[in-house]
């Protein structure tokens, strides 16, 4: 009997040792030599694989950073993350402007009457491939939420009341995934200003004024009043459409008042006092102002 | 392999082609063909005659565009077309109906093609701005210029008209059969081959009989009755049905198996261009629908708004909820009545409420009916899923570029899934990726 | 213009078949077999079928509504079909409580836990049946004798299936064709099942590939073994007509969700089921192998789909 036990222990033990040796040899032979810093860098990154940096995922970005740090920016993580990455790699981080997404369309259901019913697959990409859209405006937001579905941070959501997406400024990392997903190029990344303040032309319609206005009461008609009003020459009008250069804009909000259709939108400013001067009022922006609401700005008119 | 059998509903098969009155203004888009848009060469205020060149082809794959009316150029500006987006167009206010002198408007048949050289025919086709009139609008000249090292041994005339409702080609065959056969001879001569086949679906026995009788006088031309099946009129399936050859997957073209395929209407246009010097300024359009008062086939000037066509059939029925430019399987739904008739507009179809809507999509039950229906041997259920997930590499590996967008998969799907929507989206993306790779 | 125009990508035409029409089509095809089973097993067949269908629909509705929080789709007919097929795989004198457990396993475990219609890997009715076969072997393998027990239900006189080893070769093949043998309530009348199959192929609900390849494989395989050694295997006709082969080949293996997509794939799948069935019947410890064979091939279906693609147009082998 003892013999049986001894033999089986020996055989099993032998098999175990053999297997261990094989595993060891194989592990050694097929080991991938990898820079340990890649793992360290990857740990600093947000890990959302949003693709905002231009690489397929966070790990690919980490590999690229280790190879050559210059010029690489993790858009989602921003300067804080890049500082950490730079520390790991022992280099100096260059601060980049933080970005935030804005939706350049105010064609809510009230402003843009429907001219047809779309009945295809419920994605913006396919609707845009099929035709201009359910309204007379062939440029504006379709509202089927391709941006919402690509956002890894839950920062953009279609408001079903207005049919337009809204950006949650606190959550938006400026990764730009929504910008790429939007077939109409309605969403733009703009420089992040203090307290998430934004002044931008919330329209992308390039039709002539009358056509645009007929399709949507909140359309930019390319009248150029804003450009004349702007003290900083930040506004250009091209193809019947105004655009505010965020590098030149000082957020004086004069253009907002000048715009006859309300196409220029301000967000997260405190309510205006009558005859208020250009300088931003002392910070008392209520926390709820972070939620951009079109009603807010229309009240200001 | 594959295919479906939609109800053919050829309501207008017995309605003779009626010329439609020239409208007050036309809007002639400068992109009515596949390829580069034509370059507009007239200006606001110019006087134009019928048949005068108003926009010039700008590349190898492009086509000339002629004025379809006489009058004054009112404006050059955007017009929404069947794609749902605006394109540049020439708006012309109609004054009288003065034709260019060089156009032979007599009804006499000109049969003698012996003096013509192949190059002359091809040049004429190019000058007249002829494009495939079945709906794909590929410039005909490009098809006729057989590339070096390849040889065409048969011309196929696509008179299948497998789309339900449409009867434009059917009527053309019955009323302009002789012209079509002479046009076919011209095409044969242009590509240096001595046989041609006219493929007609068996639901048009009158056209088969008539053309078979006529073709006795035209050596080399044979009429081939074809089985009733959609998409019999797809270029590749027509070649397979008539010649028994399969065109290899893209980037191969029909010419790789020695075939040149042209539509029946195109053959007539070629005859008119070469023998009568008449550019492509009008076409036959079927205006139909289940509840339309007086559906018919009309000879329409290019650029006429479709509202004029709808007027001609007694107005839009009240229950209309969808208007389609083209046939129900591959046509485009339009959202405006002001879109102009273009060179590829084969029909205007008004669908009543009961037919206008898609069913509510349900879960895929993996029945495989889309696989059985696909005439290209693809797996639509898989491709649509991959396209939805944006897995473009896998899409390419599963041959999404073979898809001819015929719609059989969605027709067959019991769950009303938007299979083809996703596939077309995926195909567009994959083709763009392939193109960018070449650069 | 009174109505807004509707815009959608092409095609704008749609075939007539819908999921409910297909499911009810299969149910239509099952009617002859059901009538035969009513004739042979009487009230037991009726009660078992009703109980099975009722519980399948009920469980589907409950699970969809309260666990998955989706809109219940019981009207599409798939739960009814699962219920009928499950009942057809049970002896007609079985306790309704057992049927309920079978329905719960079929709908709850095999179908809804995968996400509902279209998502399940295994045929729900068969999972239910196999679960019961393993859990209640006694009740699941004592079948009432046909005809004389028509008015009895739970206390029916029972007998063995012609497929059990000691019965093999002793039943008349004509009786097997007409259903006058012991067996589960829907599987006995081969002729009725074949009529249903022809109807489904004619209506293009199913294609011929799966039933023909299964039946063909079983026929050829058993014929070979029978010719070599008749003591191992009886006359192939018994194998074709006996047990659940016809029911399985025509109605169970052709289940859309769990069978392959392409024609070649379907044939491979059918051959696999045929081979496994015969192997289990001849050398396995169960007298009947159809259910296990189908379930095993269900598991292979994704692989078959990957390997056997339809022939691509224009891809002709260069000679």
pLDDT tens, position by position, B301-335: 999 999 999 999 998 998 899 999 999 999 999 98
Q: Can you give the pLDDT at residue C174?
A: 67
Neighbours of B66 (CB within 10 A): 23
Q: Give the SS3 label for residue A283.
A: coil
* Cα dihedral C165/C169/C172/C173 (nearest 10): 100
- Which of A38-42, A212-216, B217-221 shows the lowest per-residue confidence on average (mean pLDDT)? A38-42
Question: Average pLDDT in the B165-190 region?
Answer: 94
Q: What is the DSSP string of C26-93?
A: HHHHHHHHHHHHHHHHTHHHHHHHHHHHHHHHHHHHHIIIIIS-S---GGGSHHHHHHHHHHHTS-TT
> Which of A51, A124, A130 is best to mutate for the B interface (most B CBs within 10 A)?
A130
Q: Can you give the pLDDT at residue C163?
A: 60
Q: Can you give the pLDDT at residue A241?
A: 92
Question: In this predicted model, what pLDDT tens digit does every residue of A233-271 receive, in sequence order?
Answer: 899 999 899 999 988 898 888 899 899 998 999 888 888
- For C128, C171, C219, C236, C294, the CA distances from C277, given in Å and listed in that order, are 18, 20, 11, 13, 8
Instruction: Please give the residue that has the higher pLDDT: either B288 or A87.
Output: B288
Contact status, residue C181 vs residue C197, Cβ threshold 8 Å: no
- The reply to whether residue B424 touches residue A115, judged by beta carbons under 8 angstroms, is no
- The reply to whether residue C73 touches residue B362, judged by beta carbons under 8 angstroms, is yes
Contact status, residue A205 vs residue A140, Cβ threshold 8 Å: yes
Q: Can you give the pLDDT at residue C147?
A: 62
pLDDT bin (cut points 50, 70, 90) of residue B421 is very high
Outline where chain C has alpha helix (H).
19-41, 43-62, 78-88, 96-103, 124-135, 137-140, 173-178, 190-202, 209-228, 236-241, 245-247, 263-283, 290-307
Contact status, residue A91 vs residue A68, Cβ threshold 8 Å: no
Q: How far is C87 from chain B (nearest CA, A)?
A: 22
Is A120 an 8 Å CB contact of chain C? yes
Whole-number average pLDDT of chain A: 84
Contact status, residue B178 vs residue B203, Cβ threshold 8 Å: no
Name the residue among C310, C219, C209 with its Cα closest to residue C269: C209
Q: Taking each helix axis from N to C terminus, what angle separates B177-190 and B205-215, rounded to the nearest 10 degrees? A: 60
Is A130 an 8 Å CB contact of chain C? yes
d(CA C12, CA B410): 9
Is B392 an 8 Å CB contact of chain A? no
Question: Average pLDDT in the B142-163 region?
Answer: 91
d(CA B186, CA B60): 21
Q: Give the SS3 label for residue A254.
A: helix
Neighbours of A213 (CB within 10 A): 18
Q: Can you give the pLDDT at residue C94?
A: 86
Which residue do the tokens 């213009």 mark? Answer: C1
Name the residue among B342, B375, B431 with its Cα closest to residue B132: B342
Residue C302 has pLDDT above 50, yes or no: yes
Residue B248: left (phi > 0), alpha (psi -120 to 50), or beta? beta
Q: Can you give the pLDDT at residue C180?
A: 64
Q: Which residues of A touch C8 (CB under 8 A)?
A: 118-120, 130
Instruction: Please state the ipTM of this predicted complex.
Output: 0.87
Residue C318 has pLDDT above 80, yes or no: no
Stretch (H or E) spanning A36: helix A36-44
Within 13 Å and on the Cβ side, how many CA atoms surround A63?
9
Instruction: Please give the residue that has the higher pLDDT: either A27 or B439.
Output: A27
Is B422 an 8 Å CB contact of chain A? yes
Instruction: Please give the residue that has the higher pLDDT: either A81 or B167.
Output: B167
- Which of A117-126, B113-122, C137-146 shows the lowest per-residue confidence on average (mean pLDDT)? C137-146
Neighboring chains of B (3 or more beta-carbon pairs < 8 A) = A, C
Whole-number average pLDDT of chain C: 85
Name the residue among B32, B136, B22 with its Cα closest to residue B79: B32
Instruction: Please give the residue that has the higher pLDDT: either C122 or C315.
Output: C122
Q: Give the SS3 label for residue A265.
A: strand
Considering only residues 313 to 342 of chain B, which have any Cβ-Cβ distance to chain C shorter than 8 Å? 316, 318, 320-324, 326, 328-335, 337
pLDDT bin (cut points 50, 70, 90) of residue A298 is very low
d(CA B154, CA B262): 11
Question: In this predicted model, what pLDDT tens digit does every residue of B80-130 receive, in sequence order?
Answer: 888 888 889 999 999 989 999 999 988 888 888 888 899 999 999 999 999
Q: Can you give the pLDDT at residue B407?
A: 93
Question: Average pLDDT in the A133-145 region?
Answer: 90
Q: Which residues of C touch B367 (CB under 8 A)?
A: 22, 256
d(CA B196, CA B198): 7
Q: Can you give the pLDDT at residue C152?
A: 59
- Which of A292-296, B394-398, C93-97, C210-214 shows the lowest per-residue confidence on average (mean pLDDT)? A292-296
Q: What's the token pair of residue A110?
A: 């009230």
Neighbours of A257 (CB within 10 A): 15
Contact status, residue A75 vs residue A175, Cβ threshold 8 Å: yes
Residue B224 has pLDDT above 90, yes or no: yes
Q: Can you give the pLDDT at residue B222?
A: 94
Residue B306's contacts (CB-CB under 8 Å, 6 or more residues apart) are B323, B325, B334, B337, B338, B339, B340, B341, B345, B348
Question: In this predicted model, what pLDDT tens digit does every residue of A7-48 receive, in sequence order?
Answer: 999 999 999 999 999 999 998 888 877 788 888 888 888 888
Neighbours of C166 (CB within 10 A): 8
Q: How far is A181 from chain B (nearest CA, A)?
A: 11
- The reply to whether residue C6 touches residue B356, judged by beta carbons under 8 angstroms, is yes
- The reply to whether residue C76 touches residue B424, judged by beta carbons under 8 angstroms, is no
Give the rounded percent of residues in chain B with a pLDDT score beyond 90: 74
- The reply to whether residue A126 touches residue B335, judged by beta carbons under 8 angstroms, is no
Q: Can you give the pLDDT at residue C183?
A: 73
- Which of A16-20, A202-206, C117-121, C240-244 shows the lowest per-residue confidence on average (mean pLDDT)? C240-244
Q: What is the distance in angstroms between the CA of the first residue and the CA of the last residue of chain A?
A: 98
pLDDT bin (cut points 50, 70, 90) of residue C155 is low
Stretch (H or E) spanning A156: strand A156-159
Name the residue among A142, A138, A101, A103 with its Cα closest to residue A125: A142
Q: Can you give the pLDDT at residue A280?
A: 46
Residue A299 has pLDDT above 50, yes or no: no
- Which of B253-257, C71-75, C124-128 shows the lowest per-residue confidence on average (mean pLDDT)? C71-75
Neighboring chains of C (3 or more beta-carbon pairs < 8 A) = A, B
Is B85 an 8 Å CB contact of chain A? yes
pLDDT bin (cut points 50, 70, 90) of residue A292 is very low
Question: In this predicted model, what pLDDT tens digit does every residue of C16-38 receive, in sequence order?
Answer: 889 999 999 999 999 999 998 88
Closest alpha carbon within chain C to B416 = C18
For residue B372, give the nearest of C119, C207, C259 by CB distance: C207
pLDDT bin (cut points 50, 70, 90) of residue A274 is low
- The reply to whether residue C4 touches residue A119, judged by beta carbons under 8 angstroms, is no
d(CA B413, CA B359): 11
Exposed/middle/buried for residue A224 (C-beta within 10 Å: 0-12, 13-18, 19+):
middle
Residue A110 has pLDDT above 90, yes or no: no
Contact status, residue C143 vs residue C164, Cβ threshold 8 Å: no
> Which of A114, A117, A126 is best to mutate for the C interface (most C CBs within 10 A)?
A117
Whole-number average pLDDT of chain B: 92
Contact status, residue B306 vs residue B29, Cβ threshold 8 Å: no
Is A232 an 8 Å CB contact of chain B? no
Question: Average pLDDT in the C277-305 region?
Answer: 88
Neighboring chains of A (3 or more beta-carbon pairs < 8 A) = B, C
Residue C196 has pLDDT above 90, yes or no: yes
Residue A3 has pLDDT above 80, yes or no: yes
Residue A220 has pLDDT above 80, yes or no: yes
Residue B155 has pLDDT above 60, yes or no: yes
For residue B236, give the nearest of C257, C309, C313 by CB distance: C313
- For B49, B291, B322, B331, B347, the CA distances from B317, given in Å and listed in that order, are 36, 6, 11, 20, 17
Give the rounded percent of residues in chain C with a pLDDT score beyond 70: 86
Q: How many CB pairs under 8 A join B and C?
A: 163
- The reply to whether residue C11 touches residue B248, judged by beta carbons under 8 angstroms, is no
d(CA C26, CA C19): 11
Q: Can you give the pLDDT at residue A294?
A: 43
Is B410 an 8 Å CB contact of chain C? yes
| Three-state secondary structure readout of chain B | CCCECCCCCCCCCCCCEEECCCCCEEEEECCCCCCCCCEECCCCCCEECECCEEEECCCCCCCCEECCCCEEEEEEEEEECCCCCEEEEEEEEECCCCECCCCCCCCCCCCCCCCCCHHHHHHHHHHCCCECCCCCCCEHHHHHCCCCCCCCCEEEEEECCCCCCCCHHHHHHHHCHHHHHHHHHHHHHHCCCCCEEEEEECCCHHHHHHHHHHHCCCCCEEEEEECCCECCCCHHHHHHHHHCCCCCCCCCCHHHHCEEEEEHHHHHHHHHHHHHCCCCCEEEEEEECCCCCCCEEEEEECCCEHHHHHHHCCCCCCCEEEEEECCCCCCEEECCCCCECCCCCCEEEEEEHHHHCCCCCCCCCCCCHHHHHCCCCCCHHHHHHHHHCCCHHHHHHCCHHHCCCCCHHHHHCCCCCCHHHHHHHHHHHHHHHHHHHHC
């Amino acid at each position: 009997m003892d013999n049986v036990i001894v033999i089986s222990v020996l055989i099993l033990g032998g098999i175990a040792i053999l297997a261990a040796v094989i595993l060891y040899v194989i592990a050694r032979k097929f080991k991938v030599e990898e820079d340990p810093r890649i793992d360290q860098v990857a740990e600093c990154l947000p890990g959302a694989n949003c693709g905002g940096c231009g690489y397929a995922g966070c790990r690919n970005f980490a590999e690229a950073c280790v190879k050559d740090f210059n010029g690489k920016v993790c858009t989602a993580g921003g300067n804080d993350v890049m500082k950490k990455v730079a520390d790991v790699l022992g280099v100096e981080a260059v601060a980049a402007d933080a970005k935030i997404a804005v939706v350049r369309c105010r064609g809510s259901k009230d402003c843009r009457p429907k001219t047809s019913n779309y009945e295809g697959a419920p994605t913006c990409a396919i609707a845009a491939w099929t035709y201009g859209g359910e309204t007379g405006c062939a440029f504006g937001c379709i509202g089927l939420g391709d941006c919402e579905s690509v956002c890894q941070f839950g920062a953009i959501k279609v408001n079903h009341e207005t049919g337009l997406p809204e950006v949650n400024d606190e959550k938006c990392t400026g990764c730009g995934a929504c910008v790429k997903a939007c077939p109409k190029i309605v969403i733009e990344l703009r420089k992040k200003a203090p307290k998430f303040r934004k002044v931008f032309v919330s329209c992308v319609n390039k039709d002539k004024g009358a056509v645009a206005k007929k399709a949507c009461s909140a359309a930019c008609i390319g009248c150029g009043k804003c450009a004349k009003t702007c003290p900083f020459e930040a506004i250009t009008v091209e193809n019947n459409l105004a655009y505010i250069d965020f590098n030149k804009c000082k957020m004086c909000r004069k253009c907002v008042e000048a715009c006859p259709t309300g196409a220029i939108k301000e967000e997260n400013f405190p309510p205006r006092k009558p005859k208020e001067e250009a300088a931003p009022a002392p910070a008392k922006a209520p926390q709820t102002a972070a939620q951009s609401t079109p009603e807010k700005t229309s009240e200001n008119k | 392999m594959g295919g479906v059998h939609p109800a053919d509903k050829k309501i207008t098969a017995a309605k003779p082609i009626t010329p439609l009155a020239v409208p007050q203004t036309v809007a002639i888009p400068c992109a009515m063909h596949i390829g580069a848009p034509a370059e507009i060469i007239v200006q606001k205020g110019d006087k134009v005659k019928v048949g005068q060149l108003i926009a010039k082809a700008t590349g190898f794959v492009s086509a000339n565009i002629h004025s379809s009316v006489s009058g004054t150029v009112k404006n050059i500006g955007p017009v929404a077309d069947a794609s749902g987006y605006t394109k540049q167009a020439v708006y012309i206010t109609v004054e009288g109906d003065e034709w260019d002198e060089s156009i032979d408007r007599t009804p006499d048949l000109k049969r003698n093609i012996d003096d013509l050289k192949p190059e002359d025919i091809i040049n004429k086709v190019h000058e007249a701005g002829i494009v495939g009139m079945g709906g794909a609008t590929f410039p005909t000249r490009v098809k006729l210029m057989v590339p070096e090292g390849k040889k065409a041994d048969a011309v196929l005339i696509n008179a299948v008209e497998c789309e339900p409702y449409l009867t434009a080609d059917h009527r053309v065959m019955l009323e302009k059969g002789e012209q079509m056969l002479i046009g076919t001879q011209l095409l044969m001569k242009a590509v240096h081959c001595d046989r041609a086949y006219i493929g007609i679906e068996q639901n048009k026995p009158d056209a088969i009989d008539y053309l078979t009788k006529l073709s006795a006088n035209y050596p080399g031309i044979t009429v081939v009755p074809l089985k009733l099946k959609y998409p019999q009129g797809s270029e590749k399936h027509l070649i397979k049905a008539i010649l028994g050859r399969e065109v290899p997957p893209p980037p191969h073209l029909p010419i790789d198996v020695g075939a040149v395929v042209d539509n029946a209407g195109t053959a007539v246009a070629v005859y008119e261009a070469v023998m009568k010097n008449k550019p492509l300024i009008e076409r036959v359009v079927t205006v139909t629908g289940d509840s339309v008062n007086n559906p018919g086939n009309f000879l329409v000037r290019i650029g006429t708004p479709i509202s004029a066509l709808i007027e001609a059939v007694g107005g839009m029925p009240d229950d209309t909820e969808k208007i389609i430019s083209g046939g129900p399987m591959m046509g485009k739904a339009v959202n405006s009545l002001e879109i102009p008739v273009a060179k590829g507009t084969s029909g205007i179809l008004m669908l009543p409420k009961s037919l206008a809507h898609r069913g509510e999509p349900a879960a895929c039950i993996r029945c495989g009916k889309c696989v059985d229906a696909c005439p290209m041997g693809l797996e639509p259920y898989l491709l649509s899923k991959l396209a939805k997930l944006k897995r473009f590499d896998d899409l390419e590996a599963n041959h999404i570029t073979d898809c001819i967008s015929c719609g059989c998969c969605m027709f067959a799907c019991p769950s009303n899934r938007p299979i083809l929507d996703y596939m077309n989206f995926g195909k567009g993306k994959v083709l763009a990726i392939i193109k960018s790779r070449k650069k | 213009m009174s109505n807004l125009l509707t815009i959608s990508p092409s095609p704008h035409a749609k075939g007539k078949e819908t999921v409910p029409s297909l499911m009810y089509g299969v149910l239509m095809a099952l009617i002859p077999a059901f009538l035969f089973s009513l004739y042979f097993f009487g009230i037991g067949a009726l009660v078992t079928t009703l109980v099975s269908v009722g519980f399948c629909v009920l469980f589907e509705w409950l699970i969809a509504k309260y666990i998955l929080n989706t809109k219940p789709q019981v009207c599409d007919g798939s739960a009814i079909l699962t219920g009928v097929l499950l009942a057809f795989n049970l002896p007609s004198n079985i306790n309704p409580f057992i049927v309920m457990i079978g329905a719960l396993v079929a709908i709850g475990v095999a179908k809804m836990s995968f996400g509902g219609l279209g998502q399940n890997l295994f045929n729900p009715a068969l999972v239910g049946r196999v679960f019961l076969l393993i859990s209640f072997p006694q009740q699941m393998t004592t079948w009432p004798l046909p005809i004389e027990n028509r008015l009895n239900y739970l206390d029916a006189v029972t007998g063995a299936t012609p497929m059990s080893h000691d019965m093999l070769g002793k039943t008349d093949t004509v009786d097997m064709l007409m259903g006058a043998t012991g067996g589960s309530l829907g599987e006995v009348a081969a002729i009725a099942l074949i009529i249903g199959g022809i109807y489904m192929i004619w209506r293009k609900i199913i294609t011929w590939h799966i039933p023909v390849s299964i039946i063909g494989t079983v026929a050829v395989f058993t014929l070979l073994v029978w010719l070599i050694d008749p003591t191992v295997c009886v006359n192939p006709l018994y194998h074709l007509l006996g047990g659940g082969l016809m029911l399985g080949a025509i109605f169970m293996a052709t289940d859309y969700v769990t069978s392959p997509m392409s024609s070649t794939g379907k044939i491979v799948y059918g051959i696999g089921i045929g081979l496994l069935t015969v192997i289990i019947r001849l050398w396995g410890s169960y007298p009947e192998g159809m259910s296990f064979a189908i379930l095993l091939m269900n598991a292979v279906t994704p692989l078959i789909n990957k390997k056997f693609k339809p022939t691509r147009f224009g891809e002709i082998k260069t000679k």
